[in-house]
Structure 1
């Protein structure tokens, strides 16, 4: 249930960012949900492989190359989904950074309080 809620929150973040950012467009709510699912799948499968193969660049840049990997994931999602368009690398980079911030904020609302 929590995974489904996280996907819906990510879709909400995608819709909000597509309305705010120039260069990013999503055609509807269903497309935003599909974008959230595809990004989750790409983050599970492709992102660890990209991080592994670009580990020297990531180490040299003190981890900043991860932002480039995130932008590549967004561009890959753009090529896989018809209802989601990103105009270029810089739009994808900015979108991925803001999406990470939005997701962190929204997911923090889901945290359950632990009682001692």
Structure 2
């Protein structure tokens, strides 16, 4: 019964986020809005954490299964991905280096 309550709360936040996204004049993912809504509800303690904890853990435990359809969909674009593979790897690596440099610099500035 507890997992049903957890999933109902998570689903309600998702559907509310999708509803808000439909009202916006620009395109924005409803799932992100739902996640922000859940964060705000938990942050302001309108929903206690134990109400969604077990359902969230169950979803996180099986998250790898949720990425299988995405990976299978990418197989249809192997030719496009292989053409830009160098660019993709270069962008990922340069982004990683940039993030490490910025975080390192901020850490150094925050130390007394």
- Tell me the TM-score normalized by structure 1: 0.29
- Tell me the TM-score normalized by structure 2: 0.30
Structure with the bigger RCO (C-alpha within 8 Å, sep 6+) is 1
Task: Please identify which structure carries the higher strand content.
Answer: 1
Task: Please identify which structure carries the higher helix content.
Answer: 2
Max Rg structure:
2
